[in-house]
Amino acid sequence: MITAHGSGSPVTLIVPGLAATTGEARLPASGLPGTRVVLTLPSHGAAPDAEPGYWTYARVANDVLAAAAEVNATRAIGVSLGAGALAAVLTTRPGRFERLALLLPAAFARPRQTAAVRNLLELAEALDDPDRLRTLVTASLPDSAGVGTYADDRIAALRRLGPALRSLSTAVPVPDVSRMADVTAKVLVIGSTGDPAHPAEVAEETAAGIPGAELVVLPSRAPLITHRAEIRGLLRSWLS
């Protein structure tokens, strides 16, 4: 399921993270030139629930490729799960995109760190416990950030994603880094500090594993909230 904003070239595909709310999914597209196309994955927003066994990076990557072909996208932005899916795309289609931005990658060529796995499994186990789920969701947010109804929207999104939380906790987007040798896309990786779900080390590993990739690490556990303007500037500069 795709939603287009703007018009003309270039066409940029946005692949949001797991449990991204509708508003959150659009954030990386704001201010970009040309046409911005937001992909809604199964079990998100108005999209139908995912079929059993869907939640692997390879399956998500196939949906990304199908959406990119439908809209003739030459650029793409991936956030968290979306970043991993785009990395998986590069293992089979190293020349598919001209430019990519990978925001807050959660995994690359190795399984998630123990704390990140625990975080996903705790969320999955708390889906039937509203108080516990709210505690886990709000614990990941900056104390001073004005997030409005973000926590409520995030909780509602997570309730449909138990299978995804369990399957992706141990999944690896790029099992063989040598398959990145032929990547021709210009790649920007944006990481953060202090977020156990998206460790800076994974952003560093991702940038090191993709030929010519550039890396920016922002000092925040939730940079899409606290450093929104800076990220928009980085993306405009990189993708324009």
Of the two residues 100 and 222, the one the predictor is more confident about is: 100
CA distance to 16, 35, 94, 157, 207, per residue, from 161 (Å): 14, 29, 30, 7, 29
Mean pLDDT of 120-139: 89
This prediction has a pTM of 0.92
Instruction: Dump pLDDT digits (tens) for 42-95.
Output: 999 889 999 999 999 999 999 999 999 999 999 999 999 999 999 999 999 999
CATH architecture of 2-111+172-239: 3-Layer(aba) Sandwich (3.40)
Q: What is the dihedral of CA 176, 182, 186, 189, to 10 degrees?
A: 10
SS3 34: coil
Instruction: Dump pLDDT digits (tens) for 187-205.
Output: 999 999 988 889 999 999 9
Q: Percent helix, strand, coil in the chain (nearest 5)?
A: 45, 15, 40
Instruction: Dump pLDDT digits (tens) for 2-44.
Output: 888 888 999 999 999 999 887 777 788 788 889 999 999 999 9
Per residue, the 3-state secondary structure of 112-128, as one string, reads CCHHHHHHHHHHHHCCC
At 223 the pLDDT is: 87
At 235 the pLDDT is: 93
- 179 has a pLDDT exceeding 80: yes
Encoding tokens for residue 54? 């869907």
Query: Among 188, 201, 198, 187, which Cα is nearest to 231's?
Result: 188
At 20 the pLDDT is: 87
User: If you write DSSP's letter for every residue of 52-89 in order, what string do you get?
Assistant: TT--SHHHHHHHHHHHHHHHT-SEEEEETHHHHHHHHH
Residue ranges of the domains in the chain?
2-111+172-239
Of the two residues 6 and 216, the one the predictor is more confident about is: 216
At 142 the pLDDT is: 65
